Amino acid sequence: MESDELRIGTAEREEAARLLADHFGMGRITPDEYETRVTDAYAATTLGDLRPLFRDLPQPHPGYFGIPPLYVQPTTQLPMYAPAVLDPYAPPPAPMPYAPPMPVPYSYRSKTVAGVLQIVLPFGVGRFYTGQVGLGLLQLFVCMITFGFGAIWPMIDGIMLLANGGEDAQGRPLRP
């Protein structure tokens, strides 16, 4: 390792700036940090002025810093790309504590209006009201093809809407 008081030249300053640009390109330092560190690198006069610029960065470091130490302290954090190793003989994880389900917001459309429309006008009008245009068109075509005998389906659908409610086109429950 070289002495921190050893004076450096333009070549060393430019190598430090180039390596800082590499670290910046890899996303290890922010643009503001990069600008500050490069400014400090060009203002440096000794090796001791350059060392702090690379202290918190992994390799590559300038070659004139000397050989990096062979022993690096192990970190407790695993790399992000390491897969988790599951023990097949480990007991199953504890169940999550019960959390009540999030309430689903009601639709601004009413199940009563939809059900009455299905019964009074039995050709899919209630489904058009709820925003389910495809189902409404299907009920309309069934009524037209069967000359009105297919109206039993929209009537039963209306009774089911009144009894159980239903959902609008966005999947929200109809208002009671």
* Three-state secondary structure of the chain: CCCCCCECCHHHHHHHHHHHHHHHHCCCCCHHHHHHHHHHHHHCCEHHHHHHHHCCCCCCCCHHHCCCCCCCCCCCCCCCCCCCCCCCCCCCCCCCCCCCCCCCCCCCCEHHHHHHHHHHCCCCHHHHHHCCHHHHHHHHHHHHHCCCHHHHHHHHHHHHHHHHCCECCCCCECEC
Quick one: what percent of the chain has pLDDT higher than 70? 85
pLDDT in tens, 64-88: 776 555 545 555 555 555 556 666 6
pLDDT of residue 36: 93
How far apart (Å, rounded) are the C-alpha atoms in residues 63 and 171? 63
Mean pLDDT of 131-151: 85
Confidence of residue 18 (pLDDT cuts 50, 70, 90): very high
**4 vs 39, more confident:** 39
pLDDT of residue 80: 56
**54 vs 64, more confident:** 54
pLDDT of residue 34: 93
Q: Look at residue 7 and tell me whether its pLDDT is greater than 80.
A: yes
Q: Look at residue 1 and tell me whether its pLDDT is greater than 50.
A: no
pLDDT of residue 166: 86
**What mean pLDDT value characterizes the chain?**
82
pLDDT of residue 55: 87
